Amino acid sequence: MFIGEAPGRKGADRTRIPFSGDQSGRNFDRFLASIGLSRQQIFITSAALCNPRSDSGANRKPSKTELVNCSTFLRQTLEIVNPEVVVTLGSVALDALKSIETHGLVLKESAAGVYHWNGRVLVPIYHPSPQVLASHRREAEQLRDYKVVKQALKVIETPLNSKPQRAQSFAQRRAK
């Protein structure tokens, strides 16, 4: 299960399909393809269900109130889909998970780590937006992050607990 921030004005808000119809969606598809995944193999949702806009009509980050208002839906979606691996796309999605089960993770420090959270494997990675690629996480770094997602799919065989902690390294896991 991949969790994004909110539907984008030029993308999901228009197409009603998460991460589609805009450059973020094209980047997301390319990153998925780099690890052999397709949209048909995953579930995608957003931390906020509406497209938050500034007074000028541009996309803006969802407010804490908007995230809290959508947290019941996110919780129920997690319960229904029941994914073993949750991938958050950006800091907003990672922070939104705190309303379901607290954690102390911060994207800048935790990006591309594999953690135990709420009985699942959690992999926080950066959002695939062009702005993030230009300023925070270059494409080569994001492609490496998606390789961690692919590896995390193998982690699901490990018994999980509800505390966010660094999962064993893949080398440690293979040694068992």
pTM of the model: 0.84
Domain boundaries, the chain: 2-175
- Domain made up of 2-175: CATH architecture: 3-Layer(aba) Sandwich (3.40)
Query: Which residues, including other chains, have CB under 8 Å from residue 9's CB and lie 6 or more apart?
Result: 51, 53, 57, 58, 59
- Calculate mean pLDDT across residues 110-119: 96
Cα–Cα dist 76/80, whole Å: 6
Q: Ramachandran region of residue 111, left (φ > 0), alpha (ψ -120 to 50) or beta?
A: beta
95-112 tens-digit pLDDT: 999 999 999 999 999 999
12-71 tens-digit pLDDT: 666 777 888 788 999 999 999 999 999 999 999 999 987 766 788 676 688 899 999 999
The residue that leads in pLDDT, 144 or 18, is 144
What pLDDT shows up at residue 165? 52
Beta-carbon-side half-sphere exposure of residue 58 (alpha carbons within 13 Å):
3
